């Protein structure tokens, strides 16, 4: 029997898919804000369901502030929890674990941070440890060398990964001399050269009270949390310094075609793209939806074309990387050697289609439903809410940004997406990068432009040497 009784006495036909409800905005949680006299901002999101508190101390600036020393911010941030003037790395971990918590530190492109998760009844004691980590890192020589060796090992391992090699070459091609041209984790040369004095100098510039904020989420009383912050950080002196900002190149440049030679590769790792959009730009939500349609989820145009229709790959993707400045836009896939040029051609054609042809109402409705339907899953937990609060602070977003996210998505029209594509997609000015068998790819990719060949270390291979490899 295909039906069952409903509450009103009627019969429900379970063979019919019910119509979806009308999407609506979500209520992003309210949170408390207070700024100390020295400029330190304190933010608290109360959630008392569990007796757990999480605290993050976040400094504005990181990989983009390395000052020509790639990897500096990452190493400096990691070393915050590796020893202070009063505690060794082991003592820091043991003290926090004894209180039922965990502690860590790290960096991204736009922020550096140290944070902990702790049983809320132990928050005052643990808060002192975190403040010691943030304010008084010792940068012990033995810990510097240990972290250096780990990072050098990671860099070497990445050279064996075709997608990592392709991404590093893509960023170098797109950004030239800008900090975004270099890997966030650094290069072999830069990591090997980093010293304590550079780490101390960057720490002093970033972890100043008027350049950082403290976020507490979970079982926390806001007034008590402000007092903790005042006691731990209130005597810090603001530096009033303005961070140096290196502007990225324009997205509208000449086309570049580059190949990373991997002589034994059975497939190519390809990336096509250019400079993208800043995270705080007013067009970002439209660009986000445009990218989802283009290559941001399984039902995207790229995946349906390259995977489902052509059978070139197991999966294709695209993304605008969210950064304070214009992060990279890229589209790519892992494809068989013999179809590398055809896959690149299809990516470029799909980019141009979005610029010139309006999206159908049905396709637009499908991608909108996917985006607004998955959004609630991104703000379910206190830690997810905290990350969005950090985004609001770092990227200067309106405080109601996430309250109106769904309605902003739903309001976009086919013409809005076409105009967004015209402004933020540039198929004729792309960097095209492929990591694979260089002697094959050099010949097949020449129809997109002059091909430059590189090795896995990023060194240019002269044409005469490349030709010799073919014999």
Tens digit of pLDDT for each residue in 230-247? 999 999 999 986 667 777
Fold of 256-469: Cytochrome Bc1 Complex; Chain A, domain 1 (3.30.830)
- Outline where DSSP puts E strands in 276-374: 316-320, 328-336
Backbone CA torsion sign across 156, 160, 161, 165 = positive
pLDDT digits (tens, 9 = 90+) for 7-43: 555 666 677 766 666 667 888 999 999 999 999 999 9
pLDDT above 70 covers a percentage of the chain that reads 92
Which 8-state DSSP code applies to residue 83? B
In whole angstroms, give the CA distance from residue 283 to residue 287: 6
Residue-wise pLDDT for 417-437, tens only, equals: 999 999 999 999 999 999 999
User: What is the CATH code for 32-233?
Assistant: 3.30.830.10
pLDDT for res 12: 60
| Region of 336 on the Ramachandran plot (φ > 0 left; ψ -120 to 50 alpha; else beta) | beta
For residue 388, CA distances in Å to 141, 239, 278, 398 come to: 36, 27, 16, 11
Between CA 299 and CA 330 the distance in angstroms is 18
pLDDT of residue 380: 87
Rounded Cα distance between 234 and 148, Å, is: 33
pLDDT of residue 313: 95
Express each pLDDT in 243-266 by its tens digit: 677 778 776 778 999 999 999 888
Task: Give the start-to-end residue ranges of the domains of the chain.
Answer: 32-233, 256-469
What's 180's DSSP letter?
G
pLDDT at res. 465:
44
Please determine whether the domains at 32-233 and 256-469 fall in the same fold group of CATH.
yes
Average pLDDT score over residue span 68-83: 96
Tokens found for residue 373: 């339907």
């Amino acid at each position: 029997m295909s039906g069952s009784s409903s509450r009103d006495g009627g019969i429900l036909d379970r063979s019919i898919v019910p119509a979806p409800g009308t999407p609506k905005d979500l209520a992003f949680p309210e949170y408390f804000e207070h700024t100390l006299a020295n400029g330190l901002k304190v933010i608290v999101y109360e959630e008392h369901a569990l007796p757990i508190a999480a605290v993050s101390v976040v400094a504005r600036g990181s990989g983009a502030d390395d000052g020509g020393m790639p990897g500096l911010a990452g190493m400096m941030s990691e070393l915050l929890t590796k020893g202070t003037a009063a505690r060794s790395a082991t003592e820091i971990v043991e003290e926090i674990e004894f209180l039922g918590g965990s502690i860590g530190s790290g960096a991204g492109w736009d922020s550096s941070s140290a944070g902990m998760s702790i049983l809320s009844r132990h928050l005052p004691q643990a808060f002192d440890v975190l403040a010691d980590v943030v304010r008084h890192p010792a940068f012990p020589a033995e810990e510097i060398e240990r972290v250096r060796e780990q990072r050098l090992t990671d860099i070497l391992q990445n050279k064996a990964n075709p997608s990592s090699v392709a991404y590093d070459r893509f960023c170098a091609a797109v950004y030239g001399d800008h900090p975004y041209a270099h890997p966030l984790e650094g290069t072999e040369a830069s990591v090997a050269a980093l010293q304590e004095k550079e780490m101390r100098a960057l720490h002093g510039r970033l972890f100043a009270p008027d350049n950082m904020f403290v976020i507490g989420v979970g079982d926390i009383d806001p007034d008590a949390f402000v007092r903790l912050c005042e006691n731990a950080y209130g005597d810090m002196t603001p530096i009033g310094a303005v961070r140096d900002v290196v502007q990225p190149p324009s997205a509208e440049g000449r086309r570049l075609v580059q190949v990373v030679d991997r002589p034994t590769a059975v497939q190519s790792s390809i990336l096509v793209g250019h400079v993208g959009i800043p995270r705080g730009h007013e067009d970002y939500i439209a660009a986000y939806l445009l990218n989802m349609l283009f290559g941001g989820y399984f039902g995207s145009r790229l995946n349906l074309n390259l995977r489902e229709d052509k059978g070139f790959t197991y999966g294709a993707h695209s993304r605008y990387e969210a950064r304070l400045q214009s992060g990279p836009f890229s589209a790519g896939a892992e494809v068989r050697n013999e179809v590398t040029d055809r896959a690149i051609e299809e990516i470029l054609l799909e980019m141009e289609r979005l610029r010139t042809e309006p999206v159908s109402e049905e396709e637009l409705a499908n991608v909108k439903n996917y985006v607004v339907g998955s959004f609630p899953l991104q703000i379910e937990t206190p830690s997810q809410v905290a990350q969005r609060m950090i985004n609001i602070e770092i990227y200067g977003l309106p405080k109601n940004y996430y309250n109106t996210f769904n309605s902003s998505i739903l309001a976009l029209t086919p013409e809005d997406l076409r105009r967004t594509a015209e402004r933020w997609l540039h198929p004729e000015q792309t960097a095209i990068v492929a990591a694979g068998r260089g002697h094959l790819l050099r010949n097949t990719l020449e129809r997109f432009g002059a091909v430059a060949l590189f090795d896995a270390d990023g060194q240019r291979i002269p044409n005469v040497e490349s030709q010799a490899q073919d014999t």
